[in-house]
């Protein structure tokens, strides 16, 4: 019996040592897909991963070069890009520290909530180029009164979706427009419908990570995207402008 107990103890110890040996210290950048309590379902370049957050996990928000604020798990929302450091076994990482940027949190909030104030602030930061750089752009044109995407436009959008991940920490800005004919309120609704159709198509390509597509915005009639030339006629006014943007401070990926 004593030999049996001794053998069990040795086996248990060996299993513990083996498990410890399988654990790997990692530092990963990921985007949150969903969160269930202390378990975060996230996507990395290497594939999906589950990040386990415990009471001892240090959660920090950064702003600029030196500003750091402690945050709680409630700040970890879908669409947020974050960096996790901890021990990985299989597809699970036991998080020792999680950090994220304030601007990425604001982007995730705007994508999730879509309030006018947040979208206006985000549009200003992204499209006017205060903190972001336009890397690639596609303009989709529509028939009068229609939100249907042409085959040629789908091809261009698919190419943009395939290229977007190559820019690293990217976002897709989608602005919908209408020509000035007819009722202004109806035109604004139509411009949103067009932007929504483009947003849905981009998400369905399978090339865009969760949280990368910002909520589509209705610009209505008689307006332009910042830095965009005014349309020459109604045919050019019925459009959606899609832009791949990245932070100016982004490190080389």
CATH, domain 2-104, list 2.60.40.10, 3.90.550.10, 3.30.950.10, 2.40.50.320: 2.40.50.320
pTM above 0.85, yes or no: no
Work out whether strand 171-178 and strand 239-247 pair parallel, antiparallel, or are unpaired.
Answer: antiparallel
Place of tokens 């995730």: 108
Give 19-67 pLDDT, tens digit per residue. 444 678 989 898 888 888 889 988 888 788 899 999 999 999 998 767 8
Query: Which CATH number is 115-247 given?
Result: 3.30.1330.60
pLDDT of residue 46: 79
pLDDT of residue 123: 52
What angle separates helix 184-204 from helix 151-163, to the nearest 10 degrees? 60
Domain ranges within the chain, ordered by starting residue: 2-104, 115-247
pLDDT of residue 11: 46
Give 93-133 pLDDT, tens digit per residue. 999 999 998 888 877 766 554 444 444 555 555 545 456 78
What angle separates helix 102-113 from helix 116-127, to the nearest 10 degrees? 130
Helix (H) or strand (E) holding 82: strand 81-89
């Amino acid at each position: 019996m004593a030999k049996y107990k001794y053998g069990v103890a040795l086996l248990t110890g060996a299993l513990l040592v083996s498990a410890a040996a399988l654990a790997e210290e990692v530092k990963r950048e990921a985007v949150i897909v969903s969160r269930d309590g202390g378990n975060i379902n996230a996507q990395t370049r290497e594939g999906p991963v589950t990040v386990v957050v415990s009471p001892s996990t240090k959660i920090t928000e950064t702003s600029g070069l030196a500003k750091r604020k402690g945050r709680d798990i409630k700040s970890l929302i879908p669409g947020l890009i974050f960096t996790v450091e901890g021990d990985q076994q299989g597809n699970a990482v036991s998080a020792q520290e999680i950090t994220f940027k304030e601007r990425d949190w604001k982007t995730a909030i705007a994508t999730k909530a879509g309030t006018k104030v947040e979208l206006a602030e985000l549009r200003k930061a992204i499209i006017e180029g205060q903190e972001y750089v336009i890397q690639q752009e596609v303009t989709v044109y529509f028939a009068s009164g229609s939100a249907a995407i042409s085959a040629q436009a789908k091809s261009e959008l698919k190419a943009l979706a395939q290229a977007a991940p190559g820019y690293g920490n990217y976002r897709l800005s989608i602005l919908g427009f209408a020509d000035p004919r007819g009722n202004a309120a109806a035109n604004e609704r139509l411009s949103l419908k067009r932007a929504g159709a483009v947003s849905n198509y981009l998400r369905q390509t399978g090339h865009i990570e969760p949280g990368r597509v910002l909520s589509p915005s209705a610009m209505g009639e008689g307006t332009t995207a910042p830095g965009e030339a005014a349309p020459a006629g109604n045919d050019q006014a019925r459009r959606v402008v899609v832009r791949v943007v990245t932070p100016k401070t982004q490190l080389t990926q």
